[in-house]
Amino acid sequence: MNYISTRGGGEAVDFQTAVMTGLARDGGLFLPSAIPDVRADLSAWAGLEYGALALEVMRRFADLPANDLRAMIGDSYATFRHPDVTPVVAVNSVHILELFHGPTLAFKDVALQFLGRVFAYYLAQSGRRLNILAATSGDTGSAAIAGVRGRFGLRIFVLYPHGRISPTQERQMTTVPDDNVFCLAVRGSFDDCQSIVKTIFRDLPFRDRYELGAVNSINWARLLAQIVYYFYGALRVMARTGARAVRIAVPTGNFGDIFAGYLAARMGLPVSRLILATNENDILARFFNTGVYQRGTVQATLSPSMDIQVASNFERYLYYRVDRDPREVCRLMEAFAQSGQLRLDRVRSAGVEELFAAGTCTTADALATIREFYGQYGYLLDPHSAVGVHVGRQFLSPDEPMLSLATAHPAKFADAIRQATGQDIAHHPVLDALANLPQRCTVLPADADAVRAFLREHIP
């Protein structure tokens, strides 16, 4: 499988190049040159355990020897605490896909445990080193650190918005003692962090000199690993219910997770609706309901991983929405960069957007959903997962079951759980053990030059 840039520059590259460089050299994002049709394989896939299913999905995109890929998958998911890796739990009218059983208790582990091993595999072959530069709104940072900490040939520099993630999320990053881990608290929003990372990656001489790589969802391997759990969850729900299609609700801020679901649907997974759920930072919901993508001011909420106004993976969706026309992608992204707004003709690619529905969940709605599910069903949702459930239930169908993605363990957001239930019930031993550990971080201004200077100082 070859990979092309959403902006059309340069020649197609192989899987290794797409993964190790992260961002295309023309500033675009990598996508596979073709999307395989797997409809004929679905019946055989329905009973596969997670690792076997991952191999079947990934081998269609990754030109790796089968035994090597199988070993990487096995090692990646051996770190998870549930034998099903991403189990499905039925709660009243919703099937919950639990994605939080990995090392850092967030869905990012599914992709980043795999990506860390892919990095190590290619670096061992080449003898190179890689310096990972990442931005996080909360969970990506700790999951990325867990995937690469202590690994030879890898350093990781994680930018996060100072004072705008949960204390638990911060401790998961800043208490890691490994010498190859650097945590940078940026005085600004996640969008500022993300903008700094993209600015530095567009500086090609600097990027080449300091051998920078990406673990954010701009990296294709992240999306590849996430496609797997859409097949796993949907096929299990259809087997349990006898349904011929499912609806899937996805809490999202950066559009990476739901875009993986979109790719699964394009591969042939019977998804009748992808339901995009946002909190008050609703730029994506507004786009799918109005056709206008317009940057606003970031609002702090109880679901901080979704407190985003510029979704980095939206460009990948644009590519398909404008009939795979890279020149039009460039025009639209330039318009957005200049004005903070872009508009799309809703008629041009009607077949693409008909798959999506979208809605917004307020903080009050999320707290009420957490309270209801715990009080009535004994099931505890974290605030991000509650956003997905709340919006997903607006689109229930009697014939098509609802699968809703649970993206984090509730213990990561204990304050929100206390607000919702009035009880201190959100705990996990992994997180409780971090409470009194020493922390390491450097506070920097929201300035790309300040981050460049830090990288120069800490990369030999």
Rounded to whole angstroms, the Cα distance separating 121 from 117 reads 6
Classify strands 88-91 and 30-32 as parallel, antiparallel or unpaired: unpaired
Tell me if 375 is assigned to some domain.
yes
**Helix 108-126 / helix 220-241 crossing angle, nearest 10 deg:** 140
Q: Which of 7, 101, 108, 155 is catalytic?
A: 108
Structural domain of 365: 75-106+221-430
- Nearest Cα to 217, choosing from 290, 150, 313? 313
pTM of the model: 0.93
Mean pLDDT, residues 46-52 taken together: 97
Residues present in the chain in total: 460
Say which CATH number the domain at 228 has. 3.40.50.1100
Classify strands 212-213 and 130-135 as parallel, antiparallel or unpaired: parallel
**Helix 220-241 / helix 256-267 crossing angle, nearest 10 deg:** 60
How many domains would you assign to the chain?
Answer: 1
Classify strands 292-294 and 212-213 as parallel, antiparallel or unpaired: unpaired
Helix, strand, coil share (%) of the chain residues, nearest 5: 45, 15, 35
Write out pLDDT tens, residues 176-196: 999 999 999 999 998 899 999
Binning pLDDT at 50, 70 and 90, where does residue 10 land?
confident
Tell me if 407 is assigned to some domain.
yes
- Please give the biggest Cα pair distance in the chain: 60
Structure tokens at 389: 């459930």
Write out pLDDT tens, residues 73-97: 999 999 999 999 999 999 999 999 9
Write out pLDDT tens, residues 94-107: 999 999 999 999 99
Tell me if 310 is assigned to some domain.
yes
Residue 74: CA count within 13 A, CB half-sphere: 6
Share the mean pLDDT of the chain: 94
Tell me if 201 is assigned to some domain.
no
Structure tokens at 433: 């053990």
Tell me if 81 is assigned to some domain.
yes
Write out pLDDT tens, residues 388-440: 999 999 999 999 999 999 999 999 999 999 999 999 999 999 999 999 999 99
Tell me if 84 is assigned to some domain.
yes
Look up 198 and say whether it is catalytic: no
What is the reported pLDDT for 139? 84
Phi/psi at 274 (5° precision): -105, 115
Tell me if 392 is assigned to some domain.
yes
Tell me if 162 is assigned to some domain.
no
What is the reported pLDDT for 350? 44
